[in-house]
Amino acid sequence: MNSSRSDILILGGGVIGLSCALHLLKGGARVRVLEQGTPGCGSSHGNCGTITPSHAAPLCMPGTLGVALRSML
């Protein structure tokens, strides 16, 4: 690791960590990502990098279960 300074340190090079790093880089931040293995091999590999829309809102909100069931079709 070199001695350059970073504004942001992101732990984990999965789909979320790398997406955050890209967004921050585009905003001008100096970002360092630390990943213990190969990028994308952790939980991103296990769930294939999917982000499930049915889990974005709290399940107790009115109509959420219907949205979740429709999103599976």
| Domain residue ranges in the chain | 8-72
What is the token pair recorded at 70?
Answer: 């429709």
pLDDT of residue 59: 61
Residue 14 exposed, middle or buried by CB count within 10 Å (0-12, 13-18, 19+): buried
Which residues in the chain come in under a pLDDT of 50? none
pLDDT of residue 27: 95
Give the 3-state DSSP-derived string for 5-35, with helices as H, strands as E and coil as C.
Answer: CCCEEEECCCHHHHHHHHHHHHCCCCEEEEC
Say which DSSP state 60 is in.
Answer: T
pLDDT of residue 55: 56
Name 72's Cβ contacts closer than 8 Å, sequence gap at least 6: 54
pLDDT of residue 39: 80
